[in-house]
């Protein structure tokens, strides 16, 4: 039984202050967004490395903080990716970022990524997804390969970049994936999940 999402939490329209601080850098760019805690299983180092292979009009934004934040920050400097990757740190309103990005990517490398509720939030905004094929994770359940986005092998920066570039360079493909994302979200509405739980209990008790 998947997690459900109340859409009321996604209707905040005010921009986060940190989004306001970086929006000039994002102007005219295709934005790849990732959100999460900076810990090893999130695989952010592979996503940052993938930025080397992005097309020139594409920029990566990672929202969050954690023990590996400094390590990723140093990696960006070392690889001269300051113009391709932005780290925002912790933000108050992720909706500002989710609603305005073009693609959402979750590059996790282990089943510690049990589900990825943020993927469902991205579906609500009609964002194509790029995720990794991690056995035992719910990511593949949320993101249906070639329907709501693409699923690639973990720890593979080039595969991440190829999937992202493919989505962003094909307008027709983008529209199809975006429409499918919105359709897919309906299956995660809190009302739909609530009905499933009620029906399950009825089946068990009868």
pLDDT digits (tens, 9 = 90+) for 139-191: 999 999 999 999 999 999 999 999 999 999 999 999 999 999 999 998 887 66
| pLDDT for residue 3 is more than 70 | no
Task: Please state the length of the chain.
Answer: 206
The set of residues, in sequence order, having a beta carbon less than 8 Å from that of 139 and lying 6+ positions away, is: 106, 108, 113, 115, 116, 119, 131, 132, 151
Mean pLDDT for the chain overall: 90
pLDDT digits (tens, 9 = 90+) for 12-52: 667 788 999 999 999 999 999 999 999 999 999 999 999 99
pTM (predicted TM-score): 0.90
Query: Would you list the DSSP string of 48-104?
Result: HHHGGGS-TTEEEEEE---TTHHHHHHHHHHTT-TTTEEEEES-S-THHHHHH-SEE
Tell me the sheet residues that pair with 90: none
In terms of Cα–Cα distance, which of 27, 65, 44 is closest to 155? 44
Tokens standing for 37?
Answer: 């805690």
Determine the 3-state secondary structure of 31 from DSSP.
Answer: strand
pLDDT digits (tens, 9 = 90+) for 118-151: 999 999 999 999 999 998 888 999 999 999 999 9
């Amino acid at each position: 039984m998947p997690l459900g999402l109340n859409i009321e939490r996604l209707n905040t329209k005010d921009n986060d202050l940190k989004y306001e601080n970086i929006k000039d850098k994002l102007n005219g760019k295709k934005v790849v967004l990732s959100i999460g805690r900076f810990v090893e299983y999130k695989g952010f180092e592979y996503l940052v490395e993938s930025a080397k292979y992005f097309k020139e009009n594409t920029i990566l934004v990672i929202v969050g903080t954690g023990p590996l934040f400094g390590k990723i920050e140093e990696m960006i400097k070392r690889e001269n990716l300051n113009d391709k990757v932005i780290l925002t740190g912790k933000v108050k309103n992720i909706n500002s970022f989710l609603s305005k990005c073009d693609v959402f990517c979750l590059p996790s490398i282990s089943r510690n990524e049990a589900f990825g509720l943020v993927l469902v939030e991205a579906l609500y905004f009609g964002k194509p997804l790029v995720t990794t094929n991690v056995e035992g994770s719910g990511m593949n359940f949320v993101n249906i390969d070639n329907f709501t986005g693409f699923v690639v092998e973990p720890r593979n920066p080039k595969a991440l970049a190829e999937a992202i570039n493919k989505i962003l360079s094909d307008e027709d493909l983008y529209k199809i994936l975006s429409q499918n994302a919105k359709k897919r979200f309906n299956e995660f509405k809190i009302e739909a999940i609530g009905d499933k739980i009620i029906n399950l209990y009825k089946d068990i008790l009868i």
